[in-house]
Amino acid sequence: MRVNKKVIVAKSAQKEFKKLSKNIRAKIDSRVMILSRDGKLIDPFGKKIDDKLFEIRVKVGSQWRVLYAYIWDNHVILLSVFQKKTNKTPSREIVKARKRLEEYL
């Protein structure tokens, strides 16, 4: 079943995405294409963080994460991208993503 979600980058996160290398962006873009087509990502490509936030998982040299959420009927918003340096997702990144999400709800 085709879902076709429209994926957008939050205005407040656009600078973060522009700073990424071409390799990292390409890997993220490939995951975003799957997310757009299927409407979700399964492990190991994605994971549910809480009731509203999900993450895209990418490994290019080191671990990278993109936090996203579902908004409206058929939209996904990319809220934050960061290099993961510990086993647990940093709480500051979750707080930042939740704050950015408020602008769209």
Split into its structural domains, the chain has a count of 1
In a domain, 48, yes or no: yes
Q: Tell me: the pLDDT tens digits for 38-92?
A: 989 988 999 999 999 999 999 998 999 999 999 988 899 999 999 998 888 899 9
In a domain, 1, yes or no: no
**What CATH number does the domain containing 35 carry?**
3.30.2310.20
Cis peptide before 90 (omega within 30 of 0): no
Q: Calculate mean pLDDT across residues 92-101.
A: 95
Higher model confidence: residue 20 or residue 104?
A: 20
In a domain, 29, yes or no: yes
Distance (Å, rounded) from C-alpha 84 to C-alpha 57? 10
In a domain, 41, yes or no: yes
- Domain residue limits at 19: 6-102
In a domain, 67, yes or no: yes
Q: Is the pLDDT of residue 1 over 70?
A: no
Q: Is the pLDDT of residue 3 over 80?
A: no
In a domain, 20, yes or no: yes
pLDDT for the residue 72? 84
